[in-house]
Every structure is written in structure tokens, then in C-alpha cells.
Chains A and B, each alone.
Chain A
Amino acid sequence: MLQQDSNDDTEDVSLFDAEEETTNRPRKSKIRHPVASFFHLFFRVSAVVVYLLCEFLSSSFIACMVTIILLLSCDFWAVKNVTGRLMVGLRWWNHIDEDGKSHWVFESRKESSQENKTMSEAESRIFWLGLIACPVLWVIFAFSALFSFRIKWLAVVIMGVVLQGANLYGYIRCKVGSRKNLTSMATSYLGKQFLRQNTGDDQTS
């Protein structure tokens, strides 16, 4: 995924150099759903911002906590039900059949060759950036709250980790699909990175 993005970066740069103020922008860097992209990042980032600035924004611990919980819930609903579907064409949900057994379903939209590619790389980048960066931040906050003994914040931080981690896990499983499992994908990705670093070192030296 990262390799693809770096190729797109060089492509976009060369096009920009070649033509200025072109109206024929490549489809890949157009954002098709600006409202969805905005809200995808808005709720997550504002939850983090409110958590960090709580002492300055309001003297009431309760108000901050309720605001963060509200933002985390809105973010969870928006990312799970709206932005994932619109921006990257993935969805996941839980289905309970008549026997009472629960199944988790992870789906990704198939790219049909006749239609134009409707997924934009810029949106995909925004989506995955927001999806991965924020749970990592909340995990860091969890450790910092634990070790600095601000225990009263631990409940809201754990809620952040759980909600955003759930979305992250769900969408990664959608992306990976049912053929491979996560560990084999992770090892192959790490292997590729390792190889790229080594061949890069060989070229520079």
C-alpha cells in the first residue's frame, strides 16, 4: 500500500511540473466526498484536541469527559457507517442468523473493469491516515494516564482506544479480505520493507 502511494507521489509531482493550472487533474487526487473526508478527520482530531486542552477549555472535568465521549461516539458511527463506505468502499457489520449464532461480515467493493476507477487515492490516504494515527495516539494517552496516575481520565481514554481500535481492526480485516490472514500479511509487509531498505542501502553505498 505504501509502495503504491510513493509511486503516486512522484506521478503527481511530475504532472504538476509539466502543466500549470490544468483543469484536467488526474482523477486519483480529486476528493470526491469532501464532507465525508472532513467529518472523518474532524471528530477524531477534535476528541484528541479536547483531551489535550481540557484544563484550558473548561474547569469542569465532567463537561470535558462528556464532550470527549460524545465526539468519540459520533466518530465511531460516522467512520463505521458513512466514511468507510464512501471513501474506500469497505464495510463491516455483525449478523445474527436464526440459530442465534453471530457472524462478523467484512466486505469490500469489487473494482469492476468497465467502470472508471471511482476510488480516489487522496481520499484513501486521508482515510487510512486518520484511521491509524488516532488509535495510536489514544494508546499513548492510555500509557501516559496510567503512569502519571491521572486515573480518572483512564475510563475515557480506554473508551477511545476501544472504539477507534474496533474501527481500525474492522477496516483492516475488510482490506485484507478472507484469503489471507493478518499475520501472514504483516510478515510479508515487513519482509518487503526490510528488503527495500537493504537494496536502498546497497544503492547509496
Chain B
Amino acid sequence: MAEAEESPGDPGTASPRPLMRDLKAVGKKFMHVLYPRKSNTLLRDWDLWGPLILCVTLALMLQRDSADSEKDGGPQFAEVFVIVWFGAVTITLNSKLLGGNISFFQSLCVLGYCILPLTVAMLICRLVLLAGPGPVNFMVRLFVVIVMFAWSIVASTAFLADSQPPNRRALAVYPVFLFYFVISWMILTFTPQ
């Protein structure tokens, strides 16, 4: 389920699918997100390992220092998980209902991988926050988050927009916009205390 292509060889032979090949495939997709081009790699050989890694990383970074206290208002680990995966599933269902010809897991794969720029933004924001709060601090973080948000949107629409008929593109892209907007909002409003 989590990968598309299969390695050659008969079942039962002592040459199972090599781990390095899967890791390289994940790394290649990360590169494709960072430099979005019109290519089919993300769509043809989908896998969900990248989205899982990104989701876990993002959820870990969105933790406050007092992680186990129930009183803090920031997103807990499980909430980030639920928001990302539930949001991705909803967008996929929406695009399928609009008549898109992309499969369920391919769409999840693209949406998950395109969280990469926002994860990088989260990393930068956490580093910037080490310098202490202040208006300059906020402007820097706002700029970074806006740039990465735009990058995510561009990357995901480069892959997803083709799968929709032309008159439905805006309807299919709007939920993606909302999805990344919510994640960007969580990143921007994050404070360590």
C-alpha cells in the first residue's frame, strides 16, 4: 500500500526489496517538490513514507516545552496528525467527486510531499524564535511562512491541476489552498511557551 512499484524477482526468492532503494525514491520525491517541474514521478511511483516522516517531524516541532500539560492551547501531537491526514483525505475525496482521474493514494502522496516547504518554514521559525520575541522576529517569520506557503501551493497544483477538467480546476485547488493555509497558520502562531 505504501509504495507503488515492485522490485523484480519472484516471490519467495531471497532478494527482498532493498531498503536503500525505497529511501532513494523518497529522497527523489523530496527533490521534485523542491524544484517543481511537470513530471510524472510523484504520481506514478507514489509512496506514503515521505508524508509520514514530514507529518511526524512537523508534529514534533509544533510541541511546546511543557508538552504533557493539558492546559496549553497549542496543537498537540495527535491533533497535528489528525489535521494533516484528515485534511489530505478530505481534499482527495473532494477532487475525486469533482471527477478527477487521479487515484486516492496518488493524491495523498502529492499533498503529503508538498508539506515539505512548510516543514522547512517551521524549522526556520523555530530557529528564529531562539533569538527572542519581537516585531522584527514576527516579520521575518511571516515572510518565511508566506514564501513557503506559496511554494507548497505551486508545487501541489503543478501535480494535481492536470488531473481535473479545466472548468473545475479552481474548485479543486481551493481546498488545497485552505489546507496549506491552516498548516501555515499553525506554524506562524506557534510560540514555545
In the complex, per-residue mask of A38-58: 1 if CB is within 8 Å of any chain B CB, else 0:
000000000000000000000
Of chain B, the residue at the smallest CB distance from A87 is B12
Kindly list the 5 A-B residue pairs having the minimum CB-CB distance in the complex, ordered from nearest. A89-B12, A155-B78, A102-B103, A82-B16, A81-B17
Is A29 in the interface zone, CB < 8 Å from B? no
Least CB distance from A200 to B in Å reads 36
Nearest-Cβ distance from residue B134 to partner chain A, whole angstroms:
29
Which chain A residues have a beta carbon within 8 Å of chain B's beta carbons? 59-62, 65-66, 69, 73, 76-77, 80-82, 84-86, 89-91, 93-96, 100-102, 105, 107-109, 118-119, 152-156, 166-167, 170
Q: Of the candidates A65, A93, A119, A156, which one forms a contact with B4 in the assembled complex, judged by CB atoms under 8 Å apart?
A: A93
B residues 95-119 touching A (CB-CB < 8 Å): 101-103, 105-106
- Give 1 or 0 for each of B2-26: 1 = CB within 8 Å of chain A CB: 1111100011111011010010000
In the bound complex, residues from chain A placing their C-beta under 8 Å from that of B1 are 80, 94, 166-167, 170
B63 touches A62 (CB 8 A): yes
Would B6 and A95 count as touching, CB distance under 8 A?
Answer: yes
Other-chain contact of A61, B3, B19, B68 (Cβ < 8 Å): B68
Q: Cβ of B49 and Cβ of A73 under 8 Å apart? A: yes
Check B101 against A96 for contact (C-beta < 8 Å).
no
Given A76-B2, A81-B17, A100-B103: 19 more A-B contacts, CB < 8 Å: A65-B77, A73-B52, A85-B16, A89-B12, A93-B5, A93-B6, A94-B1, A94-B105, A96-B4, A96-B44, A96-B46, A96-B103, A100-B43, A100-B102, A102-B103, A152-B76, A153-B78, A155-B78, A155-B81
Contact A91 B11 (CB under 8 A): yes
Bound: A114/B96 CA distance, A: 49
The residue among A69, A84, A108, A156 with the most chain B CB atoms within 10 A of its own CB is: A69
Q: Are A152 and B78 in contact (CB under 8 A)?
A: yes
> Which bucket holds chain B's interface residue count?
35 or more
The docked-state distance in angstroms from the alpha carbon of A73 to that of B22 is 13
Report Cα–Cα, A93/B16, bound state, in Å.
13
Chain B residues whose C-beta falls within 8 Å of the C-beta of A82 in the assembled complex? 16-17
Question: Is B78 within 8 A of A96, CB to CB?
Answer: no
Nearest chain B CB to A184 CB, angstrom units: 24
Q: How far is the CA of A85 from the CA of B17 in the complex (A)?
A: 10
Within 8 A of A (CB), among B123-155: none
B60 at the interface (CB under 8 A from A): yes
Given A86-B16, A96-B46, answer yes or no on A59-B106 (Cβ-Cβ < 8 Å).
no
Please state if A62 and B77 are interface contacts (CB–CB under 8 Å).
yes
Q: Indicate whether B82 reaches chain A with its CB closer than 8 angstroms.
A: yes
Are A95 and B5 in contact, CB atoms less than 8 angstroms apart?
yes
Name the residue of chain A whose CB is nearest to the CB of B16: A82
Assess whether B161 is interfacial by the CB under 8 Å rule. Answer: no
Chain B residues in 8 Å Cβ range of A80: 1-2
Residue in chain A with minimal CB distance to B76: A152
Find the residue from B2, B44, B105, B163 having the highest chain A CB count within 10 A.
Answer: B2
Task: Chain A residues near B12: list those with CB within 8 A.
Answer: 85-86, 89, 109, 118-119
A170 to B3, CA, bound (A): 13
